Amino acid sequence: MVTTIFHIDPVSQMLMLIIALIFDLLFGEPPETIHPTVMVGRIIERFDSLLRKVKTCKKMVGFLLTSITLILIAYLTSTILETVKGVLGQAGYLIVGGFILKTTFAVKSMELHVNPIVEALEAGDIQAARRSLSKIVRRDTEQLDEGLCSSATIESIAESTVDGIISPIFYHLLLGVPGAVVFRVINTFDSIVGYKDKEHIELGWFPAKADTVANYLPARLTGLIMVIASAIVGFDWRNCVKTLLSEHGKTESLNAGWPMSAMAGSLKVQLWKIGSYKLAEEFDLPKRKDIGSAIKMMKATTIIFITGAFVKLILIFFLIRGEI
């Protein structure tokens, strides 16, 4: 059953990833009306509004809802791809698979979300910067100054490098397109119901834990790749290593501290979420120009990871053929 749903073909995986990257670079995010993640998110929101009224066994309800949804999504994705392959052939299979894979990660859109924040800060319009920032972070942005706005933006870039880019591609490499889709659904569940308010603390317990487990290896891998990226881009890789090793455990999240501490160390900036954590305290809060540096780090990290992914897929291909 698992091998039927999660197709692992190194050639198809590599070609789908190339197609997905082309889609991302040329078009960015597809319209919400045909975006699978948006559709799933809306369904989860509807269930959330209903399930918040449940008075007992909320953890079990959250577990069952998440588990059943993941199984159905994996099966549906696999069925769609196999149907397309039967009707449109290998070319159609690769294009549709590449499109679905693209909807699980976002490189271009992160920069597009960040640009209005930078532009507002450059114009001295702190209110506009706060409004734009509130679209990508959960924290209250109303009282943040330029340094804290820049910090929150860089933190978001660092975290998004993991769950918005590295993790979905990581699971595509392991389990094919259905694996990437399952990861994205887990992450979507967590973003909608994984809060710690009284309505979600039990209902969102399992989705939050599932998201932590799913991002566990990719987060650490991203931190390590950021060390390489900082050296290639020309930032301080030694300080990146130092901060990564000493401060990755300061965040409440088991995973967020890895990319954020690596980013803080390489850029030599302090990342501060008031009331929660302060990373690289020996440095000043970032300035708006540091946001651009964080985007460079995100892109370099992505390129290094994808290059490694292609090497891995090529090696597997030749191993299967018995030429290595």
What pLDDT, in 10s, does the model give residues 4-15? 566 668 889 999
CA atoms of 35 and 109, how far apart (whole Å)? 14
pLDDT, tens only, 254-274 = 999 999 999 999 999 999 999
Number of domains present in the structure of the chain = 1
Domain that holds residue 315: 2-321
DSSP H or E segment with residue 140: none
Provide, rounded to the nearest whole percent, the portion of the chain with pLDDT above 90: 73
Are the beta carbons of 169 and 285 closer than 8 angstroms?
no
Q: Residue 308 and residue 30: Cα distance in Å, rounded?
A: 27
Q: Rg for the chain (alpha carbons), in Å? A: 20
Rounded Cα–Cα distance for residues 168 and 113 (Å):
19
Q: pLDDT tens digit string along 100-113?
A: 999 999 999 999 99
- For the residues 314-318, what does the mean pLDDT come to? 82
The answer to whether the CB of 210 falls within 8 A of the CB of 163 is no
Counting Cα atoms < 13 Å in the Cβ hemisphere of 88 gives 12
Q: How far is 310 from 314, CA to CA, in rounded Å?
A: 6
CA distance linking residue 251 with residue 121, whole number of Å: 27
What integer pLDDT is reported at residue 229 of this predicted model?
98
Whether the predicted pLDDT of 49 surpasses 80: no
